[in-house]
Amino acid sequence: MDGRFTYLQLQTCPRLLLGTLLAALLTGCSAFIPEQSQDDTPKPLSTEAFEQRIDELALSLQSQCDTSALLDSQQRQAQRMTADVREIGSLLRRLNNNVDDLVLAAPQTTAPGAQQVSVGEACRQEDSPSGNKTLVGRSEWIGLPHLGTYLKARIDSGANTASLSTREITPFERDGEDWVRFKLALNDDDVVVKSVKNKWFEAPVERRVKVLQATGEDSRPVISLLITLGPIRQHAEFTLNDRTHLNFPVLLGRRFLLDIALIDVAESYLHERPEFSGGASSEQALNDQSSDTDMSDE
């Protein structure tokens, strides 16, 4: 009867049962909760510890500032070294050109009728009112010693700068300066030393010029090359562009002719063709000249 009574009592008093179970659970869980340590609260820093911490932070900040200043100094030094390398490279190229000019200007066999111009004679010509300038025709053979070839040139005082027919013009940088790589652009009937037809050439870019055309504005590189024309031997600036649609691969303008030459438009090829290794003899030039037309290039 007592068991049945307890069972019936539990059935009729569910709240009592639930309360008893919760009390038991809470009593058991409380046994496994650790007591909080009384030492977990952060202790305040002492004056000495606070000052030590400030000193450490100051030293860390100072080291970072020192590193930044060192990097700036190294960067400036690298910039100065780069500028020095560029200057040395430019000086070496000029020296190399001067050596080439001295070698090319060495005594050599002159063509019949050609007259070498000495330094003293050049000075006298400059002082003379007439200038005693070299007479050239409307078209002439020129030599380009740095390229190792001769080419036909149209003489045109109406043009400002000289122009050289080139293709595959590729700009690049060397020692921090602008250079250009190119090949000669020639037609099948252009007379040239065969070994240079598909040869790559490289030269520093002196400047760039803008040319207005029907298709728009074109920017062309300008290079300096040693040129020979009869007794004349001097550097000239050439713009690089494709001239295969014109009659002559080279155009000589008034900047080259100024103070050194006069043009006789009624004549052509007053000076013999220079000779180069691998090229045809100067006697063959007469046959090569016969294919010319009187059409103007520009």
Q: Which one of 52-56, 154-158, 163-167, 258-262 scores highest in mean pLDDT?
A: 163-167
Q: What is the dihedral of CA 289, 291, 294, 296, to 10 degrees?
A: -90
Q: How far apart are CA 105 and CA 119, in angstroms?
A: 12
Q: How far apart are CA 260 and CA 239, in angstroms?
A: 21
Q: How far apart are CA 16 and CA 24, in angstroms?
A: 13
Confidence at residue 259, expressed as pLDDT on a 0 to 100 scale: 84
Side-chain-side CA neighbours of 287 within 13 Å: the count stands at: 5
Write the pLDDT tens digit of every residue in 207-241. Answer: 999 887 777 778 899 999 999 999 999 999 999 99
Q: How far apart are CA 116 and CA 66, in angstroms?
A: 67
Confidence of residue 66 (pLDDT cuts 50, 70, 90): low
Question: Across residues 96-109, what is the average pLDDT?
Answer: 60
Q: DSSP alpha helices (H): ranges in 106-170?
A: 119-127
Q: Which one of 13-27, 143-157, 252-266 scores highest in mean pLDDT?
A: 143-157
For the purposes of burial, counting CB atoms within 10 Å of the CB of 243, is it exposed (0-12), middle (13-18) or buried (19 or more)? buried
Tell me 228's DSSP state.
Answer: E
Confidence at residue 89, expressed as pLDDT on a 0 to 100 scale: 67
Q: Would the CA dihedral through 72, 77, 81, 86 be positive or negative?
A: positive
Confidence at residue 103, expressed as pLDDT on a 0 to 100 scale: 61
Nearest to 271 by CA among 163, 107, 138: 138
Residue 268 lies in a domain: yes
Residue 98 lies in a domain: no
Choice between 46 and 250, residue whose per-residue pLDDT is larger: 250
Residue 77 lies in a domain: no
Choice between 84 and 133, residue whose per-residue pLDDT is larger: 133
Q: How far apart are CA 278 and CA 261, in angstroms?
A: 29
Question: Across residues 195-207, what is the average pLDDT?
Answer: 95
Specify the pTM.
0.58
Residue 154 lies in a domain: yes
3 state DSSP class of 105: coil
Choice between 210 and 118, residue whose per-residue pLDDT is larger: 210
Choice between 39 and 47, residue whose per-residue pLDDT is larger: 47
pLDDT of 21 above 90: no
pLDDT of 111 above 50: no
Choice between 17 and 193, residue whose per-residue pLDDT is larger: 193
Residue 144 lies in a domain: yes
Residue 19 lies in a domain: no
Residue 180 lies in a domain: yes
Confidence at residue 218, expressed as pLDDT on a 0 to 100 scale: 81
pLDDT of 96 above 60: yes
Quote the domain boundaries for residue 199. 134-289
Question: Across residues 145-158, what is the average pLDDT?
Answer: 94
The set of long-range contacts for 285-292, using a CB threshold of 8 Å and a minimum separation of 24, is: 285/141, 288/191, 291/189, 292/139, 292/152, 292/247, 292/268
Write the pLDDT tens digit of every residue in 249-283. Answer: 999 999 988 888 999 999 999 999 999 999 888 88
Nearest to 155 by CA among 251, 227, 290, 268: 251
Q: For the domain that residue 205 is a member of, what is the CATH number? A: 2.40.70.10
Question: Across residues 163-183, what is the average pLDDT?
Answer: 95
Residue 88 lies in a domain: no
Q: What is the DSSP pairing of strand 177-184 with strand 162-174?
A: antiparallel
Confidence of residue 113 (pLDDT cuts 50, 70, 90): very low
pLDDT of 184 above 90: yes
Contacts of residue 100, Cβ cutoff 8 Å, sequence gap at least 6:
145, 146, 226
Confidence of residue 170 (pLDDT cuts 50, 70, 90): very high
3 state DSSP class of 284: helix
Structural domains counted in the chain: 1
